[in-house]
Chain A
Amino acid sequence: MSILRTTSGRPAHPEVAAVADQLLKGAIDRRAFLRTVSLLGISAASAAAFAGLAGPAAAQETPKQGGTLRYGASIMEINDPMMITWTQPSNVARNVIEFLTQVDEENITHPHLAASWDPSADLTTWKFKLQPNVKWSNGDAFTTEDVAFNIRRWIAPESKSSNKSAFSAIKEVEVVNDLEFTLHLSRPTLAIPEMLFAYTCPMVHRKFIEQGGVWTKNPIGTGPYELVEFAVGQKATLKRKAAYWGTKVHLDEIRFIDLGTDVTASIQALASGQVDIVPSINTTDIDVVKRLPNATLLVGHAAQTICIRMQVTQKPFDDLRVRQAVVLAADNQKILELGYRGLGMAAENHHVAPFQPEYFKLPPVKRDVAKAKALLAEAGYKDGIDLSLVLGNTQGRWEQDCAQILQQQLAEAGIRMKLDVKPSSEFWPIWDKVPFGLTFWAHRPLAVMTLDLAYRGGGAWNESRFASAEFDAALNKATGIVDPKQRAQAMEAVERILQDAAVMVQPFWADRFGAMSTKVRGFRLHPATYNLLGNVWLA
């Protein structure tokens, strides 16, 4: 235990010992251990050493300094960083303005502008200590005054940022001194450090509003780079600053190039050496990238998925037996294999991914066409039933491919499903209103974030209209349990209630793909599509 050190130097949170014990007894795996203790303020290095993991394998090549990295991105206006609505603009700003914490490609949270944090035993008081000697690009020191300015602005009554609801638990930001502040919460929340890395949470200068409130016009930041050029729809250029408080970065310049919406153009640009990283490509482009001699395919797991969900308040889905019949007639593994080329992981209709920390493994879902037929007959549909599924191919044609495979599977059980394919612009206004629809859900680091939004009674994006007091209570119990084993056990009820309610066929977790030049070293796909370029260099 002695080697488990907090980053603040203070005594560790009381739960740390128990979590460490579980690791030693094999009750939790190393990843769950690292994730949990890092959230509790233990330094990643000491946690890794404790878990018996070697430090990062000695790099075979010594990083080379210098060079210009060209990164394919969509360049949109960034007026107010807390109002960003998409990851792309945040990636452009990410290496100029920084976050209090950093979640890496493995979903593990590290200190960044905040050097350490200590939650109280009940997880409602969080003491943060800032990194000393951090300077803004205009020469000012980065202090708790800046932090308080940012967080208070996020949660202010007039705030229009999505941070307002995300951080609704924050009652007060207490500034202790220049480097220490405390967050007082109204309810226990373990994920605070993780949430501080959301793309709407970069720290802007305390005079941001006074100086006009348009970040691209006055791009002050604490990061290793400065923004020297910015043209909406075209390009953004970052240049390395002479002085930086953190670990030295390798690249001299990062150039973001807007390659438009057609991925073909991005791949052509990669082939002809005009761009080094294309962070997102379609499954249909994988073969082309594999054949390019100067490119490497990037693959990343992400908790992104499609939910073919039924509204429990609408006929005929108000009858549990009809919903069960649909779910039983579906073969999730087959949909993954045929609809998404098997590039992902079959899911279990409860919207919690095996690589999310709360996951509890339930018995596998089995297809049972005979039982589906029997249930339908019992519900009064002896001759089968006609359904119409609305979808908008919002992420691409593969959504429709998956729906067509489901269509054939359901036909075996006498369910005649029609597909009502709409253009995505027509689909979005009705995505949560149609009785039977296919919705794409983006990645979130924690499953409880999605469950809160989509399945809690009255949740903001509750598209299935599922409402269960039992489910809400189980979810409340699971949120705020520090111990990963206990939390996963508490999640068993959450997952089971949702799975038993048969509100959706959630066929699989879709992998994410990108491509990069063979010259690039040290770049990996981040599950939330954030670009971390601190270790990236060009061979």
Chain B
Amino acid sequence: MIRFLLARLGEVVGVMLAVSFLVYLVLEHDAASVAVKVIGQYSTEGQRALWLSENGYDAPFLVRYVTWLGRFVTGDWGSSTHFREQVTVLLPQHLARTGILAGTAFAIIVPVAFLFGIVAGVREGSWADRVVSFIAVATTSIPEFASAVFLSAIFVFWLGILPGASTMTSGFEWQQLVLPCLVIVLYDFGYVARMVRAAMADVMAQPYIRTALMKGASPARIVLRHALRNALVAPITVIMLQIPWLISGVLVTEVFFAYKGFGTLLYQACLNSDVALIEACAMTSVFVIVSTQLISDVLYTLLNPRIRFGLRRGEA
């Protein structure tokens, strides 16, 4: 297990290094354009040249990359040109807010998706299965920007019972969380429910379920004790994949409702060519993706002892 973890950690570091190089290459290979982005489009050639030499942009690209990486690793992430604030100040607060939104949505998506998925998967082809599948496909196929417009037309403009912007500037208000959460849940739960349904249907067709049934086990016991644990393995990966999506993929929802989370931060960074902020956001996203992958791999081995990662064939 330790060897497996170390090997996976090595991979994680490798992926992050590769991505950091790509990010730096894309954003900073053209030093002149960095100067334009940082000191503004109206700056003169002279001011740009001065800024470039002051900030070490005379050095070759690889040297600049290594210097940047060194600073990044030691926690010097630079400052945002748009907000005029240290990136290390901006990023944690925005991440925390996305954490609240994503966490709430996640806490709704998982149980709802499991409930729907199990109900549908236990009896494939039943009317319950058909209804659930229809709802799941319908909600998943409506993109967030469309459901956001639709929901705010109903709850903000027509009924007037929910706030239309979720800035949370006067402190936390649960009402402001309702619409963004609803948009995310609507878009995402159907996908997870269908995964659970497929896995469940698969397991329910296995001979050991029939055996349990013939031994006279109650349906509840069959589902909870025999089927569910085995059906969890595939959806776990899907669920873990939702976490990185919830961190950076909720950009559309966050921007629409002016929710000050990680997605809004990344969006504003891109709009304003805020180089240091884009780099930090990109690295954070990559970190979330590779670390959730690592966790899901570990969960896999715990849920299914037959899976042994990191061992060569014949060793098990």
Q: Which residues of A pack against B, CB within 8 Å? A: 76-77, 79, 85, 232-235, 255, 257-262, 264-272, 274-275, 292, 425, 428-429, 431, 460-461
Give Cα A428–Cα B267 distance, bound, in whole angstroms.
Answer: 18
Secondary structure of the A contact surface, majority rule: loop
Assess the B82–A260 pair: CB atoms within 8 A: no
Chain B residue with Cβ nearest A83? B84
Give Cα A481–Cα B33 distance, bound, in whole angstroms.
Answer: 42
B160 interfacial contact with A, CB 8 Å: yes
Assess the B40–A429 pair: CB atoms within 8 A: no
Assess the A275–B165 pair: CB atoms within 8 A: yes
Assess the A431–B165 pair: CB atoms within 8 A: no
Chain A residue with Cβ nearest B268? A261
Give Cα A271–Cα B268 distance, bound, in whole angstroms.
Answer: 24
> Would you list which residues of chain B between 82 and 101 have a CB under 8 Å from chain A?
82-85, 90, 94
A and B contact pairs by CB, cutoff 8 A, 25 listed: A77-B85, A232-B85, A233-B265, A235-B167, A255-B169, A257-B169, A258-B260, A260-B255, A260-B268, A261-B267, A261-B271, A262-B258, A265-B165, A265-B256, A267-B164, A268-B152, A268-B157, A268-B257, A271-B157, A271-B164, A272-B162, A272-B163, A272-B164, A274-B165, A428-B41
Of A233, A257, A272, A292, which is within 8 A of B83 by CB?
A: A233
Give Cα A512–Cα B256 distance, bound, in whole angstroms.
Answer: 23
B36 interfacial contact with A, CB 8 Å: yes
Residues in A with CB closer than 8 Å to B167 are 234-235, 257-260, 269, 274
Residues in A with CB closer than 8 Å to B20 are none
| Per-residue contact bits, chain B 240-275, to A (CB 8 Å; 1 contact, 0 not) | 000000000000000111101000110110010100
Assess the A264–B163 pair: CB atoms within 8 A: no
Residues in B with CB closer than 8 Å to A274 are 163-165, 167
B174 interfacial contact with A, CB 8 Å: no
B42 interfacial contact with A, CB 8 Å: yes
Assess the A234–B165 pair: CB atoms within 8 A: no
Residues in B with CB closer than 8 Å to A260 are 167, 255, 258, 260, 264, 268
Assess the A268–B83 pair: CB atoms within 8 A: no
B298 interfacial contact with A, CB 8 Å: no
Of A85, A232, A266, which is within 8 A of B90 by CB?
A: A232
B171 to chain A, nearest CB (A): 10
Residues in A with CB closer than 8 Å to B163 are 269, 272, 274
B155 to chain A, nearest CB (A): 9
Give Cα A292–Cα B156 distance, bound, in whole angstroms.
Answer: 11
Of A76, A259, A271, A460, which is within 8 A of B258 by CB?
A: A259
B74 interfacial contact with A, CB 8 Å: no
Assess the A234–B169 pair: CB atoms within 8 A: yes
B308 to chain A, nearest CB (A): 47
> Would you list which residues of chain B between 21 and 37 have a CB under 8 Å from chain A?
33, 36-37
Chain A residue with Cβ nearest B176? A274
Residues in A with CB closer than 8 Å to B53 are none
Of B90, B160, B169, which is within 8 A of A272 by CB?
A: B160
B311 to chain A, nearest CB (A): 49
B150 to chain A, nearest CB (A): 13
Residues in A with CB closer than 8 Å to B157 are 268, 271, 292
Chain B residue with Cβ nearest A269? B165
Residues in A with CB closer than 8 Å to B260 are 233-234, 258, 260
Residues in A with CB closer than 8 Å to B164 are 265, 267-272, 274
